[in-house]
Structure 1
Amino acid sequence: MKHLQRSELGTVGYLHRTKIGIGRRFLTPLMVMIAALCLAAPGALAYGTKAPKKIPIVMVGDRLVDVAYHLGVVPEVMSVRSSHWPASKELEMVSDTLMCPTRTLGDTSLLVETAKKHGITRVIAESRAGSCSANSTISMVKLEDRLKEHGMTVEFVDFSEGLEKAVQEIAAVLGVPENAASVLEEYKKKTAKAEKAMPKKPLGKKVVVLKGVYSEETGKSFLQVEAPEGYTDRFLLEPLGCENVGNRMFREGAKESHGYYTLRRLTNLGVANPDVIVMTGDSYAGQKALKEALARDPELRNVPAVRSMAVYSLPAFVNSSALGYPAILYKWIKALEM
């Protein structure tokens, strides 16, 4: 296991493993007004409290949309990994939402149809926006030619040369270059705070990461355990010298879906024997499952994480909100070092 140095803390990778998109959403003026108030609320997406400006444009890519929002701009239409990026739920209230980037760019018919409906002719996309699959590649030249046939233009932004340059580039493309400095200053402050908190040596803890899913319609909930070598490993556990032992939680022959395995019960919690249990998504689903597991098998109280009450609800990181990474990492540091 590699223990990353402090200088590598700001590295943002390109693990794109998901293939889930959602349909379009059509909003009433009242919903848009409510959404603007939600997005402007402290603790939502942005560092500030000023409502963002909505512009007639299509944006393709999680990180692009996230940076644009922090710069004070939201697109009329967007293509992001809605099922994996929690913050997108707020943005969906103000932006019409296409499928995930790979599907949107692979078959541009929905993009073109939706853009025409809104009277939009301009598209901005991440140059590596094939975020539904790690192996997906989109020909930017073909995409440009395809959209040109419909009287549309496409511009690309690149995150491969670092976040700072990407933020400046996006600010320039959106016509708000004056907003880049304050966004980057806030990001650097949070990065410095996380770097200062980094443990001087590997923590060496075994961790199980559970993602809770809850349906308000049915009242039912279920759990997914994150498999090793995913986003959490790369960005959160490996930098802290911790090990993801989630692979010990699912049965032999179980099928992985987008980096997760679905669990009916926490039957193998004792086998995994984690030092820490992290719950992402809907933590109620995880808390409910843990309580039921302890009732069935009191011996699970001897699992180190349960015995020491090292069970934490923490934010997930799926390489969508690059600007939010330092704050998320800081929270994981404080939880795992206890």
Structure 2
Amino acid sequence: MPDPTPIPVFDGHNDMLLRFALHRERTPEQLFAGDPQGHIDLPRARAGGFAGGLFAVFPPPLRGEGPPAPKSYADRPMPAELALEPARTSTVGMLSILLRLERAFPDDLAVCRDVGDIRAAMASGRIAAVMHIEGAEAIDPDLAMLDVLHAAGLRSLGLVWSRPNAFAHGVPFRFPSTGDIGPGLTEHGRALVRACNARRILVDLSHLNERGFWDVADLTDAPLVASHSNVHALCASSRNLTARQLDAIRDSRGLVGLNFACSFLRPDGAMRSDTDLDVLRRHLDALLEHLGEDGVALGSDFDGAAVPAAIGSAAGLPALFDQLANAGYGDDLLRKIGAENWLGVLERTWR
């Protein structure tokens, strides 16, 4: 009889904190206890084996700019650059939500600052939450705020979302398109990468344009990681990675987390929830071919994107593993993809 216990998942990217921050009728504590409208809450995490991950802070203006929901991402105009003060207000506010949840649910969630913390939280049945920032607009060019955020628990940083800032140029959402759009890192961005290396903060390459990717690759002494990106050869989105980029990630002993967003999976780039789970399997097959069994994981983009209805939320994660098992993926590989590969690359980065 098959084991009914879900495979544990440490997930590379979710936008739960943003969803909670933008909700006006219920508190984050109420939403975490149970919210059928989103992708992640405590009951659905338990049901699906969602054991932890990088909890993203995406700093929008104070009101109104949540994740977009167009019919397609093709050629969608990007918001203007975000000023320092509103970015700080929203970033600190979302990090505060995570700390408040840890206080309110001490038996269910722990903010983790090293891999030992993650393993201990998962072993005790608590969700292992790592602070991640998606877009460094809250950080000043002198990097004083980076020290404050690191002391608070920040261990992973994406220099940009898909808009430009003082550090780099995000890749716009275009389909079909390569990611070779715009210039790379600024001098402030180069200094930020060096500072992250010195503090052993993971530098996330998802949302960087292609020139920015290669700038980081030339500078960093850490593994190259794209927390929630897919294979450009299978879906020609500007957000996806070329074979050359995947090979560079492999050579650095890095990792790619599979993004569940339908627009970054489908050959037609459409944002359709009837996307078959075999499409995800094809991206994983390609990632495994380039990166090997230790370089592939999950980066769902839960609460930040339209995902296949067959998964639907964190509770639906076992459906993906069933699909992969039926396609011949062994249990050891499934457990690597589920959590162990993320813990491995974090150990190599945070050493």
TM-score (structure 2 length as normaliser)? 0.31
Larger Rg: 1
Whichever structure has more strand as a proportion of its residues is 1
Q: TM-score, normalised by structure 1?
A: 0.31
